[in-house]
Amino acid sequence: MIAEAGLAALWLAGALALLQLVLTILALAQDRPELRAAIRPVAVVQGLLTALAMLALILVFARSDMSVLLVAENSHSMKPFLYKVAGAWGNHEGSMLLWVTILGIAGAAVAWFERRLDERTLIATLGAQAAIALGFFAFLLIASNPFARLDPPAAEGRGLNPLLQDPGLAFHPPTLYVGYVGLSVAFSFAVGALITRNVGPAFARAVRPWILGAWIFLTLGITAGSYWAYYELGWGGWWFWDPVENASLMPWLAATALLHSVSVLATRDGLRAWTVMLAVVAFSMSMIGTFLVRSGVLTSVHSFAVDPARGTFILVLLALYIGGALALFGARIGTVRAGNTFDPVSREAGLVVNNLLLSVILGIVLIGTLYPLVAQAFGVKLSVGKPFFDETVGPIALVLMAALAAGPLLRWRRDRLSALRDRMTVPIAVALLSVAGIAVFARGAGVLPTLGLGLAAGLAVASVAPLWRRALRRTPLFTYGMVLAHLGVAVSVAGMAAESAFTQEQLVAVHVGQPVDVGPFVVRLSGVRPTVGDNWSAIEGVLRVSPQDGGPDFTLRPQQRFFSAPPTVTSEAAIKTTLGGQLYTVLGEADGTGRRQLRLWWKPFVTLIWLGGGMIAAGGALSLIGRVRRERKAARREEEMGWA
């Protein structure tokens, strides 16, 4: 009955989405207060029902109910409990239900908490959110029912892809989806504002916390996914430019541009049309990413479905939502006032440069990801991989870093180039000294990594410069958030450049006891032994590692694991993290002569990549808290003045 209850909740939620949309149309067309008053409760109940449906799916997975087709195809009774629960979204149907659940909860949150928008714009926003949800409810109920029964029930399930049986993948999809779907709220706000012709600072201040929230979760999701791909897939590289990785990077690039654009609109009433367009683009990238991952047009180790029919359904939804929003944008753009202007040398101009560079990078990633698919449609098979993205995105990213360093040091509305030059003297000097030092003491590091390290050092100094000579206790929390986020970018870039410049690799076949030098370590294979886990068996290599600086020895145990359901062999890397970087070890096959293959990497400062990602997200969280606190104080002041 749990599955039937989940399906019933899903149908009811879909019906309420339809009701919410109809009520919105009527409320906007007719001046009837009772219709407007009904929309908020409908949105809240719709969100609760979708959450109930998701809970029902988690329960049937946790109970290993093999009478549910989805459970039988994607789970196994012997799986650890965590992966039984995570199995609920580790497949196509479940992940789409998770998407709709977050969408419903986001709509309910807007209905419950949002009080800053004028009533007509809020109603139009909830109507847009209902229209998005309605399409996905139809997709689930018509093409991807997660509660379909299996008659007779299976005796045992087929199991979950072992690559997905990892704590990182248990939490990564929900985090990423909150970011994806959070951008739907920004999209709905933009559509609502276009419908009521109410694009202005009040709209920007209302939508900014939602964009910030989505951006924080996207940042966390991408950072966690990057680290998972690094250690679980055994690629040994931190970013592979895999199409599914790109599918999550594109919305983040658009959301980052939107976050800066909406600040200009909220603070200086500029970039009105551009901000609305970016809100549409950001959600479009989420939809395109969903289409790429779910349609089966991509070949990737972590794409889910291979189903052109369902991909076509999502493509139709994408065309309806994005095409409709662009048509509305075209029809209403003439009624959106231009907003305030600003000088070419100003913080607004700096943010425009930031937006343009992010947009160029987004365009390159989009073209590089889609081009092989377009070529394949014309019978040409080709691939676009890491060399293309490194060579095209890398130089633009360095220019973006320079703009990122200068932007916060500019004044709003009008500034002088000479004043900016004076403020940038120390960051530029630090960057030049860093480049010179690397060129002298680390020859062969490569041009891009050397420039990246130098710019990272300069950006780090420029990031904290806004705090110079300020009363730190009276400095707004969102200023600290900006500083921390920009500093996090510098830390991440330093990690990327260091990993690219200084990584050492050894691919060897060794006898037991034979030493191998890699970085500051000597590694010896002590032996190979069998071991077992909850639902796998493995061959485990025992590696004795001696630091060359005389530090204490330690042991690493990389494995080759064998899963029976489904039959799969995986490589589990063993990693030692130190302050200076990571020693990354992978156990290979025996070569038939008594030797065992080993792959060893020493990656200096690679952990800075993910530390920086965490700092960026933490900076976003500080900004969000600071903005919300300031808005509440302003609301209280207005209320008190009204009483007076």
pLDDT tens profile 601-634: 999 999 999 999 999 999 999 999 998 888 788 7
CA separation for the pair 578, 387 (Å, rounded)? 29
At residue 116, the 3 state secondary structure works out as coil
More confidently predicted of 485 and 75:
485
- Name the phi and psi angles at 529, rounded to 5: -145, 155
- Closest C-alpha to 254, from 387, 389, 366: 366
Q: Report whether pLDDT(511) > 60.
A: yes
CA separation for the pair 633, 206 (Å, rounded)? 15
Which pLDDT belongs to residue 331?
A: 84
Residues 6+ apart with CB under 8 A from 412: 267, 268, 342, 346, 347, 348
The predicted-structure confidence for 346-368, as pLDDT tens digits, reads as follows 999 999 999 999 999 999 999 99
Q: Report whether pLDDT(76) > 90.
A: no
Confidence band of 338 (pLDDT split at 50, 70, 90): low
At residue 515, the 3 state secondary structure works out as strand
Residues 77-88 have a mean pLDDT of 87
More confidently predicted of 435 and 82:
435
Category of 643 on φ-ψ map: left (φ > 0), alpha (ψ -120 to 50) or beta = alpha
At residue 522, the 3 state secondary structure works out as strand
Which pLDDT belongs to residue 372?
A: 86
Note whether 423 and 465 are within 8 A (CB). Answer: yes
- Closest C-alpha to 277, from 370, 400, 186: 186
Which pLDDT belongs to residue 259?
A: 94
Look up residue 429 and give its two tokens.
């000097």
Return mean pLDDT, the chain.
Answer: 89
- Name the phi and psi angles at 34, rounded to 5: -65, -30
CA separation for the pair 571, 562 (Å, rounded)? 9
Query: Which runs of E-coded beta strand occur in 106-242?
Result: none
Look up residue 397 and give its two tokens.
């990213």
By mean pLDDT, which of 153-162, 292-301, 467-476 is the weakest? 292-301
The predicted-structure confidence for 222-262, as pLDDT tens digits, reads as follows 998 888 888 887 666 677 788 888 888 999 999 999 999 99
**Percent of the chain with pLDDT strictly greater than 70:** 96
For 149, counting Cβ atoms within 10 Å of its Cβ (0-12 exposed, 13-18 middle, 19+ buried), the class is: middle
The predicted-structure confidence for 136-152, as pLDDT tens digits, reads as follows 999 999 988 999 999 89
Residues 63-69 have a mean pLDDT of 94
Q: Mind giving me the DSSP string for 538-577? A: EEEEEEEEEETTSPPPEEE--EEEEEETTEEEEEE-EEEE
Which pLDDT belongs to residue 368?
A: 92
Residues 126-130 have a mean pLDDT of 95
CA separation for the pair 594, 603 (Å, rounded)? 29
More confidently predicted of 182 and 523:
523
CA separation for the pair 251, 261 (Å, rounded)? 15
Which pLDDT belongs to residue 300?
A: 57
- Closest C-alpha to 531, from 569, 566, 562: 562
User: Which letter, b or e, does each residue of 245-275 get, where b requires 16 or more Cβ atoms within 10 Å of its Cβ?
Assistant: bbbbbbbbbbbbbbbbbbbbbbbbbbbbbbb
CA atoms within 13 A on the CB side of 74: 29
CA separation for the pair 424, 459 (Å, rounded)? 10
Which pLDDT belongs to residue 644?
A: 44
Confidence band of 520 (pLDDT split at 50, 70, 90): very high
CA separation for the pair 355, 352 (Å, rounded)? 5
At residue 30, the 3 state secondary structure works out as coil
Distances (CA, A) of 75 to 146, 193, 444: 13, 44, 49
Look up residue 145 and give its two tokens.
């029912």
Q: Chain-centre distance of CA 284, in angstroms? A: 14
For 587, counting Cβ atoms within 10 Å of its Cβ (0-12 exposed, 13-18 middle, 19+ buried), the class is: buried
On whether the pTM is more than 0.85, the answer is yes
By mean pLDDT, which of 43-47, 211-215, 410-414 is the weakest? 410-414
Residues 178-197 have a mean pLDDT of 91
Q: Report whether pLDDT(326) > 70.
A: yes
- Name the phi and psi angles at 471, rounded to 5: -75, 100
Which pLDDT belongs to residue 298?
A: 64
Distances (CA, A) of 413 to 406, 421, 508: 15, 17, 60
More confidently predicted of 166 and 599:
599
Which pLDDT belongs to residue 44?
A: 96
Note whether 555 and 543 are within 8 A (CB). Answer: yes
Which pLDDT belongs to residue 173?
A: 80
Q: Mind giving me the DSSP string for 371-424? A: HHHHHHHTT------HHHHHHHHHHHHHHHHHHHHHGGGSPSS---HHHHHHHT
The predicted-structure confidence for 363-406, as pLDDT tens digits, reads as follows 999 999 988 888 887 888 887 888 899 889 989 999 999 999 99
